[in-house]
């Protein structure tokens, strides 16, 4: 059974990921996560982002397009 921790949603919709979860999953400051919902569940996943440093705006648009097309 997974560990369960109670977190509070701020007035801006922010939550803090517990340190143990961040550590266990290798989530570091500056990492990106995807978020989705499934019935009564909220699902966070560590995102892999490939950046085209010559055209960073195009890379973000392509990433968003691919994510939305698969969800």
Least confident of 1-10, 25-34, 60-69: 60-69
Token pair belonging to 15:
């939550």
Beta strands in the chain (DSSP E): 33-38, 41-46
Closest residue by Cα to residue 46 from 32, 57, 59, 58: 32
Structure token digits, residue 9: 């949603």
Q: What is the pLDDT of residues 33-68, one digit of tens each?
A: 999 999 999 999 988 776 666 766 777 777 777 777
> pTM higher than 0.85, yes or no?
no
**Can you give the residue ranges of every domain in the chain?**
19-70
């Amino acid at each position: 059974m997974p560990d369960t921790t109670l977190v509070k949603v701020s007035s801006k919709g922010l939550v803090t990921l517990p340190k143990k979860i961040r550590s266990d999953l290798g989530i570091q400051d500056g990492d990106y996560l995807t978020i989705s919902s499934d019935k009564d569940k909220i699902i966070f996943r560590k995102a892999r982002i490939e950046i085209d440093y010559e055209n960073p705006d195009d890379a973000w648009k392509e990433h968003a397009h691919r994510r939305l097309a698969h969800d």
